[in-house]
Chains A and B, each alone.
Chain A
Amino acid sequence: MWSCAPDNLKDNLMNFYRLLLHLYPSSFRAEYGEEMSAIFALELDRRRGLPARCGLWFSALAEIVLNAAMVHGEIARRDLFYSARSLLRSPGFTLTAILLVTIGIGANIAVFTLANFVLVRPMPFPQPDRLTKVWEKHPGYSRMELSPANYRDLNASNNSFAALAAYNGNSMSLVGQGEPQRIEGASVTANLFSVLESPVLFGRYFNQEDGRAGAPGTVVLSYPLWQTAFGGDREIVGKPVTLDNQSYTVVGVMPADFRFPTRETLFWTPFRFQESDYQDRDDNMLEGVGRLKPGVSLAQVRSELLLIAARLRKQYPKENESVDLSVFTLRDELSTESRLLLKGLCGAALCVLIIVCANLANLLLARSLARQRELSIRLSLGANRRNLLRHLLTESLLLGLAGGASATAVAIAALPLLSRLVPNGLPVQQVPPVDIPMLLFALGLTLITVVAFGIAPALQASRGAGLSGLRVGVRTGGAGRHGARSALVIAEVVASVVLLVSSGLLIRA
């Protein structure tokens, strides 16, 4: 039990102090721990009373934490220096190891960044998890566009969507701005931008008046089109542009990072539906996009859409016979092939990493065999095994960090080449950005790789070094080391077979 009696208090504070000394490296503690404790005991004796003694203990706590960190830092600095020197003495080995790490980690950074960008990362809209695509479901077709009539009925009768909009892609000829050019755009309902909740760069969104039948033509420009065809003219709003020989007035420009429905879309014009457009329920031309009300789940909206579809079937038994409605999150719109391809690539990249790790571990094992005499001499001169292990691990860490840095550079350079795998229909930029999560992933992967290829050889080398290593002609480290190398070769072969098979399947797919 803790007590405030003077002697007990001193004992307790001393025990705490000795415990704190464990923050220092063991070698430092072994060398100076006793003396430091003795000095602390003397200082305690000089102070009388609980506040003075506790004050001393707290100041000791602060200085031990600080000094222990500095001692660790000095040791790490020294280890790094010696390791760098040792690696520079074997440039062939060092370059080979760094090249291997670059290949293994670079492939993984590039592929996983791409997969994260396409499969995981939220869409670039506010609250993207509430954005959904709405489809008609016909026998044999799970995703069919909505007819204007069904869209209007669905819009009027649902309670799940905060807003429901529709669009379809169209291309038009832009004339009067240099060479005539065919550009991709989209016809959209006037409320599309407010469903996506994307702010306009300047100007305004479409309003209900723009979508009225017979209203004058209006257009919202994308940032790239505004820059390339109109030279970034800030006065563009209100000016006319000619699309397919019809005049449209520019009402707004969207920001540079806005892409919808595809990244090729360069302009948006509003639908100006007339009553005749609502006559044909088989005219499936609209893609529906809806923002769910807060708190409404996908299951809830699905069951409501089933009810609405049933009612529409009853109301229009001939046109809507066997027509159902379905809804998916915007993220789920990605095709199965795209998903499969990216997942397959991730698997292949992981196999490459396993092969690289096995190769590196083999390289390090071979190097440790060649250095057995050096390690044995260091042991016989007083170095302890722990220091030796730390030194070998620092070498692996240095190799890993150098390789990780070059791998990151290679991955950044490779991403534009891999961007062809980003589906066109995804409303995101083409090349995944280099950002903090990507760099953190690179660092984490590097550290995992270092552990994977560095620990086993370092343990083997520090165990194998000893007096026997000093004998001239000693070549191998015994059965244990052979076992480790055999295991590495087996792992390498297994990963290679998996890589070959999955590559074959990917090519076939």
Chain B
Amino acid sequence: MCTEYILDAYSHYAYSVAMADDLKALLPLQPTTFHILLSLTDEDRHGYAIILEVARRTQGELKLSAGTLYRSIQRMLETGLIVETISRPAPEMDDERRRYYRITPLGKAAAEAEAGRLRDLLKMARLCGVAPRTT
């Protein structure tokens, strides 16, 4: 029991260290990557749904093109920020050509780390008086 606990704790620690190293290499995230990760935080989405969600979240300021989206998706799949899911919606709601993507724990950690980085940056900007003190 104790050994199992130690092994579990160690593997959790090793995973955290590896992930921290991965995160360091990933930051800062490209804005497109960050937006795609944000759009996948609440649910799995297919490509077009990601485009619509990013446009909605940014009030139409960022409209991803299909080329930019899938180039980013390819890179994010390779770096392990997202995965392609096998679970699909009900057949009447589905289009078999679509692929659905899900954010991974690494993707979530990367998004959090990027948000933290942006927050620190904003804090610094406020101290320098180049950003308003309240939002």
Contact = CB atoms under 8 A, between A and B. Distances in A.
A36 B74 contact: no
A383 B82 CA distance: 22
B65 interface: yes
B71 interface: yes
Nearest to A31: B74
Given A39-B66, A40-B66, A71 B71 contact: yes
B48 interface: yes
Contact of B65 (A32, A34, A35, A59): A59
Residues of B in contact with A, size category:
10 to 19
B74 A38 contact: no
Interface stretch (A61-69, A110-118, A161-169): A61-69
A282 interface: no
| Residues of A contacting B: mostly | helix
Contacts of A66: 67
B65 A63 contact: yes
A71 B75 CA distance: 10
B67 A36 contact: yes
Nearest to B67: A67
Interface in A42-78: 42, 59-60, 63-64, 66-68, 70-71, 74
Contacts of B66: 35-36, 39-40, 60, 63
B70 A32 contact: yes
Interface string A283-316: 0000000000000000000000000000000000
Contact of A38 (B68, B75, B98): B98
B133 interface: no
A28 interface: yes
A32 B70 CA distance: 7
Which has the most chain B C-beta neighbours within 10 Å: A39, A42, A59, A64?
A39
B97 A67 contact: no
A39 B67 CA distance: 10
A35 to B, nearest CB: 5
Given A42-B48, A74-B75, A35 B70 contact: yes
B68 A36 contact: no
Contact of B67 (A31, A34, A38, A63): A63
Interface of A: 28, 31-32, 34-36, 38-40, 42, 59-60, 63-64, 66-68, 70-71, 74
